[in-house]
Amino acid sequence: MDCGTIAALMPVATLTRYAWLSLAAALLTIALKVAAWWLTGSVGLLSDAAESLVNLAGAIMALAMLTIAARPADEDHAYGHGKAEYFSSGLEAALILLAAAGIAGAALARLWRPRPLENIGDGLVVAVAAAAINLAVALILLRAGRRHPSITLEANAHHLLTDVWTSAGVVIGVLAVAGTGWLWLDPVVALLVAANIVRIGVRIARASVLGLMDAALSAEHQQAIQRVLDRHGGERVQFHALRTRQAGARRFISLHVLVPGDWTVQRGHDLLEEIEADLRGAVPHSTVFTHLESIDDPLAWQDQGLERGERR
């Protein structure tokens, strides 16, 4: 592992501080939302508090997985521990879906047996304060997740943003009940909240599965890679067997570089060093593997599949 790769890995270890921030925010907002529910008796506010319990579980899992992901590569994990992040986002997606089911059950029960709300003004003030805390923390996590590319922090941030919209919807529902006297509006809003939570949970689960399945890098990164190869390629230098994947905050790029057979090893090596450096600059947090081949050797053109031995 070169010095550039080690330097790129170092920021990952600092991501746990954002997980601690998320954990503290979850504890504080749970207390505020439970107080709001206790003051008003609103099932919508109760559903909002239930979702914050999911935030707490997600924050705990994020802290654990980011700690593991920050560990350096070892003999048993030669590519590092970055994929641990997908376990965090996957668990959070499952918890989100379970919370949605619980919210929907409570809302249906309240829809069947409506109950008047109490202390609406005090309850809403507390709920809005909790939403403001979640919004501030979510924006911090989202920036950090994109800067260090961490699916764990991004999933946590999007979940907190969902919580903010959930709180906004619940507040609107409670105000609507207060203004119209229609008690059924409170559980209906809670059902809409549950539906939105399901949507977010499915999206996070999909991102986790794609990461565990070694899906290729995004189209934006693929284009950045191709621009680098276009600069170095030509009639005498060509490329094939390009493969990409992501494991947590790390991105991996591998390719074969075909050069004239009469080049010296040193000349070919110098070209590969230049290509690898340019790729790392174009795709941050990336580890690049290159393989040098002779453009004049027919066997080199067969060496493109994952299972080379089965193609001979």
CA distance 51 to 273: 49
Confidence of residue 225 (pLDDT cuts 50, 70, 90): very high
Confidence of residue 10 (pLDDT cuts 50, 70, 90): very low
The whole-number average pLDDT for the span 249-258 is 89
The whole-number average pLDDT for the span 104-128 is 72
Task: Give SS3 for 311.
Answer: helix
For 148-180, what is each residue's pLDDT tens digit?
Answer: 777 777 777 877 777 787 777 777 777 777 777
Task: Give SS3 for 287.
Answer: strand
Tokens found for residue 60: 């705990």
Tokens found for residue 186: 């409170």
Confidence of residue 311 (pLDDT cuts 50, 70, 90): very low
Tell which wins on pLDDT, 51 or 226.
226
The whole-number average pLDDT for the span 207-222 is 82
Q: Domain 219-311, what fold?
A: Alpha-Beta Plaits (3.30.70)
Q: According to the model, what pLDDT value does residue 16 have?
A: 75
Distances from the Cα of 145 to the Cα of 33, 87, 158, 163, angstroms = 26, 16, 10, 18
What's the predicted TM-score (pTM) here? 0.61
Tell which wins on pLDDT, 42 or 269.
269
Residue 9 has pLDDT above 50, yes or no: no
CA distance 149 to 92: 18
For 27-56, what is each residue's pLDDT tens digit?
Answer: 888 888 787 777 777 666 676 676 677 777
Residue 120 has pLDDT above 70, yes or no: no
CB atoms closer than 10 angstroms to residue 178 = 15
The whole-number average pLDDT for the span 250-279 is 93
Residue 257 has pLDDT above 50, yes or no: yes
E strands present in the chain: 238-247, 250-259, 286-294
DSSP state at residue 298: G
> Could you give the count of Cα atoms lying within 13 Å of 46 in the half-sphere of its Cβ?
18
Confidence of residue 62 (pLDDT cuts 50, 70, 90): confident
Task: Give SS3 for 214.
Answer: coil
Sort 262 into a burial class: Cβ within 10 Å, 0-12 / 13-18 / 19+.
exposed
Lowest mean pLDDT across 5-9, 57-61, 109-113, 242-246:
5-9
For 72-107, what is each residue's pLDDT tens digit?
Answer: 777 877 777 777 777 777 877 887 787 778 778 877
Q: According to the model, what pLDDT value does residue 17 have?
A: 79
Q: According to the model, what pLDDT value does residue 307 have?
A: 62
CATH of 3-212, one of 1.10.760.10, 3.40.50.1980, 1.20.1510.10, 3.30.465.10: 1.20.1510.10
Sort 311 into a burial class: Cβ within 10 Å, 0-12 / 13-18 / 19+.
exposed
CB atoms closer than 10 angstroms to residue 81 = 21
Phi (first) and psi of residue 183, to 5 degrees: -65, -25
Confidence of residue 286 (pLDDT cuts 50, 70, 90): confident
Average pLDDT of the residues of the chain: 78
Q: According to the model, what pLDDT value does residue 45 have?
A: 66
Contact 116, 183 (CB under 8 A): yes
Closest CA to 246 of 82, 50, 29: 82
CA distance 297 to 16: 49
Residue boundaries of the structural domains of the chain: 3-212, 219-311
Tell which wins on pLDDT, 1 or 180.
180
Q: According to the model, what pLDDT value does residue 14 have?
A: 65
CA distance 35 to 201: 26
Q: Do domains 3-212 and 219-311 have the same CATH topology?
A: no
